Amino acid sequence: MKNIIELNERNFEQEVLKANGTVVVDFYAPWCGPCKMLAPLLDKLAGECAGRARFVKLNVDEAPHLAMRYEITGVPTVMLFRGGLILDTFVGLPNPRALKARLDELADAGTPAAVPTH
Amino acid sequence: MKTACELPLTNATPDEIRQLLATSRTVAVIGLSDKPERDSFRVARYLKEHGFRIIPVNPNLAEVLGDRAYASLPDVPGPVDIVDIFRKPDAVPGIVEDAIAIGAKAVWMQEGLAHNAAADRARAAGLQVVMSKCIMKEHRNAFGG
């Protein structure tokens, strides 16, 4: 997946919470069928959104503390972060068009104050 | 179509897993395949090679790895320590009820398989629960081999 960077528990804060702009985080597990279906869709979306949002992924099996912190109860879970805060959470396979529409909306809105959902 | 995979909300600790494996001898392998390329077959073979007695549970097979297969857990004669599950999540609650009924010590859901409600039910009945972990990998991690 050329457009999506793999993160871990050590660099999550730097790459997501302290990052500028919108970051799309794919919480996934390597054994999860729906996660495998989502991966190419997200990669395509990442290409389309280049310059407007960064796409990263995190293997929950190797990041149990983050999975607990963000209350990940199922995978895939896609979270949109900005300014260290969660803008949106999609549990299960998200509709790529809905995700794209939300990212377009965020890009058009500039950098609004994010609303924490937790 | 399944759109999400459940994750364990709580799980056995590495120490608990090590202790469970060290004190168990009989493993009923639910959904064991007779195809050597399947994970269930490789895991059951590994367990046999490492001193466990395996009991295949699969209504479609008569025998796997030289051991007689049983159609379901209640058909298994004698005590079972670990009920190791290679089935889809919707089959888990029924298997947990069977595991409780036969007095199994633990329910083990293989890598990628978790069912928190069924796990709660098993724990409430006094069984240990391991979710979304491969018993072969955990045995290797704990004891080498």
- List pLDDT tens digits, range A24-80: 999 999 999 999 999 999 999 999 988 889 999 999 999 989 998 999 999 999 999
Distance, in Å, from the CA atom of B145 to the CA atom of B137, rounded to the nearest integer, reads 10
pLDDT at A13 over 80: yes
**Checking DSSP bridges between strand A53-59 and strand A22-28, what pairing results, if any?**
parallel
Average the pLDDT over B35-40 and give the result: 97
The residue whose two tokens read 């979306």 is A45
Note whether A99 and A108 are within 8 A (CB): no
Task: Flag if A74 and B6 touch (Cβ within 8 Å).
Answer: yes
Distance, in Å, from the CA atom of B19 to the CA atom of B40, rounded to the nearest integer, reads 22
Task: Flag if B3 and A67 touch (Cβ within 8 Å).
Answer: no
pLDDT band of residue B3 (cuts 50, 70, 90) is confident
A34: nearest CB among B5, B116, B132? B5
pLDDT at A110 over 70: no
pLDDT cut 90: percent of chain A above it = 69
Distance, in Å, from the CA atom of B123 to the CA atom of B121, rounded to the nearest integer, reads 6
Model confidence pTM above 0.95: no
Which of A1, A19, A32, A86 is catalytic? The answer is A32
pLDDT at A1: 57
- A105 in reach of chain B (CB within 8 A): no
> Closest by alpha carbon to B93, among B59, B119, B131, B75?
B119
pLDDT at A76: 97
Average model confidence (pLDDT) for chain A?
89
Q: Is A49 a catalytic residue?
A: no
**Checking DSSP bridges between strand B63-64 and strand B128-130, what pairing results, if any?**
unpaired
pLDDT at A113 over 70: no
Q: Is 3.40.50.261 the CATH number for A5-108?
A: no
Q: How far is CA A85 from CA A24, A45, A88, B67, B144, in A?
A: 12, 21, 9, 55, 43
pLDDT at A116: 54
Q: A85 has which bridge partners?
A: A82
pLDDT cut 90: percent of chain B above it = 94
* Closest CA of chain B from A12, distance in Å: 20
pLDDT at A51: 87
The residue whose two tokens read 């466990």 is B52
pLDDT at A114 over 60: no
pLDDT band of residue B89 (cuts 50, 70, 90) is very high
Q: Which of residues 4-33 of A touch B (CB under 8 A)?
A: 29, 31-33
pLDDT at A90: 94
What is the DSSP track for A55-81?
Answer: EEEEEGGG-HHHHHHTT--EESEEEEE
Q: Is A35 a catalytic residue?
A: yes
A74: nearest CB among B4, B111, B112? B4
Tokens of residue A86, six digits: 């969660």
Q: Domain B14-143: which topology? A: Rossmann fold (3.40.50)
Q: How far is CA B119 from CA A6, A48, B30, B114, B124, in A?
A: 31, 42, 16, 8, 8
Average the pLDDT over B121-132 and give the result: 97
Residue B93: phi and psi, rounded to 5, are: -55, -45
pLDDT at B6: 93
In this structure, the dihedral spanned by the alpha carbons of residues A107, A112, A116 and A117, taken in order and rounded to 10 degrees, is -50
Lowest mean pLDDT among A79-93, A98-112, B66-80: A98-112
